Amino acid sequence: MENGFLVQTIETKSLWKSGKAIRTCRRFLKELSITQVHCHLAHANWIGLWAAKLSGIKTRMFTRHSGEPLKTHWKERLIDKIQNRLATKIVAISKNIDDLLSKQGVPKSKREIIHHGFDLERFSNPNLLEVERIKKQYNPDNLSPTIGVISRFLELKGIQYIIPAFESLLKQYPNAQLALFGASENADYSSTINELLKKIPKQNVQIVSFENNVFDLYQLFDIYLHVPINPTCEAFGQTYVEALAAGVPSIFTLSGIAREFIVNEENALVVPFEDSEAIVNSIIRLLEDKELREKLRVNGQKSVNELFSFETYIEQLQRLYSK
């Protein structure tokens, strides 16, 4: 039992060699007389949907969390096709994903958009002791302003446009700090990003692979950036919601869920894709305009509270399960 739920762990290494795992899951479903199955993420989708189908379960669902990668392998396309046919209902986490499912031939009657839910109150009510700990740990020299990024080192995330923008910012704000969280030496674009970072003085950049307390981490940032390189590379982009929930004035490109609720100069500043100059100009504008920062802070929190509460998420799932 975990958190009051019965848990059965099934291990498998490969989707194509998961027959034993599917049989184990099928036995588990039959023993508990399960009537609905809802799966999340690649291995669980494959195993759970096949086990449910072989068990004769009529309601078989999965949530599609991933968008379409920049490069798609034929095996991924085949897996998508099989899973889409096995499922009787597919939950899309954003309009981006709903569009992708439509493109893959999934009928509208089989698709349901349900956005992620967040503990928004926790983001908007930081633990002051934790905020102090985070600032001492990641900005011990009290550099200002701190420009924050939480993102893996992937081409699609657009960090390669943030770094030149920050380099330009230093000419006007020599004590600024670029805080990059989520860094990974093994990510697809790490070598390119590390090469760009050589142009930034070491004292002005903080690179962190992981910080467990994401709720209070956003309070480290004076301005937050998230600039994916095209409209569809983000499936959702939860950092859009988190940054605004935390009350951090933000600069975005419109990808994933941002396309559904971000309004330029209302709850964030929007910049074009792949545009370092627009990024630095927007940073400077926010730093020099206190009223605009406050407007974005207030409207940002209001907009996410209206759309992404955890209570709303649970209500939508309950309606889905009762159909």
pLDDT for residue 294: 98
63-101 pLDDT per residue, tens: 999 887 656 677 888 999 999 999 999 999 999 999 999
Picking from 113, 146, 164, the residue at the C-terminal end of a domain is: 113
Tell me whether residue 141 is in a domain: yes
20-52 pLDDT per residue, tens: 999 999 999 999 999 999 999 999 999 999 999
Q: How confident is the model at residue 319 (pLDDT cuts 50, 70, 90)?
A: very high
For residue 6, pLDDT beyond 90: no
pTM over 0.95: no
- Cα→Cα distances 10→22, 25, 108, 224, 270, Å: 9, 7, 33, 39, 44
Average pLDDT for residues 236-242, to the nearest whole number?
98
CATH number at residue 51: 3.40.50.2000
Whole-number Å distance between alpha carbons of 41 and 10: 14
Tell me whether residue 67 is in a domain: yes
pLDDT for residue 77: 87
175-216 pLDDT per residue, tens: 999 999 999 878 889 999 999 999 999 999 999 999 999 999
Residue 255's closest CA among 235, 231, 227?
Answer: 231
Q: How many domains, in total, are found in the chain?
A: 2
Picking from 113, 148, 173, the residue at the C-terminal end of a domain is: 113
**139 shares its domain with 246:** yes
pLDDT for residue 4: 84
Tell me whether residue 234 is in a domain: yes
pLDDT for residue 323: 84
Tell me whether residue 100 is in a domain: yes
Rounded mean pLDDT of the chain? Answer: 95
Average pLDDT for residues 145-152, to the nearest whole number?
97
Tell me whether residue 156 is in a domain: yes
pLDDT for residue 71: 62
Q: Which amino acid appears at position 283 of this protein? A: I
Average pLDDT for residues 141-153, to the nearest whole number?
97
**127 shares its domain with 108:** no
**143 shares its domain with 202:** yes
**158 shares its domain with 294:** yes
Tell me whether residue 3 is in a domain: no
Tell me whether residue 317 is in a domain: no
DSSP 55-94: TT-SEEEEEE-----SS--HHHHHHHHHHHHH-SEEEESS
Contacts of residue 254, defined as CB under 8 A and 6 or more positions apart, other chains included, come to 231, 262, 270
Residue 30's closest CA among 5, 7, 54?
Answer: 54
Whole-number Å distance between alpha carbons of 112 and 320: 8
**127 shares its domain with 226:** yes
**279 shares its domain with 162:** yes
Picking from 65, 92, 113, the residue at the C-terminal end of a domain is: 113
For residue 292, pLDDT beyond 70: yes
93-124 pLDDT per residue, tens: 999 999 999 999 999 999 999 999 999 999 99
**227 shares its domain with 278:** yes
CB atoms within 10 A of CB 208: 14
**90 shares its domain with 166:** no
pLDDT for residue 305: 96
**284 shares its domain with 172:** yes
Q: Residue 281: is it exposed, middle or buried by C-beta count within 10 angstroms (0-12/13-18/19+)?
A: middle
**85 shares its domain with 154:** no
Tell me whether residue 318 is in a domain: no
**183 shares its domain with 66:** no
Whole-number Å distance between alpha carbons of 182 and 153: 7
**228 shares its domain with 150:** yes
Q: Which domain holds residue 266?
A: 121-307
pLDDT for residue 90: 98
Average pLDDT for residues 269-279, to the nearest whole number?
98
Residue 281's closest CA among 207, 272, 290, 68?
Answer: 272
pLDDT for residue 14: 85
Percent of the chain with pLDDT over 70: 99
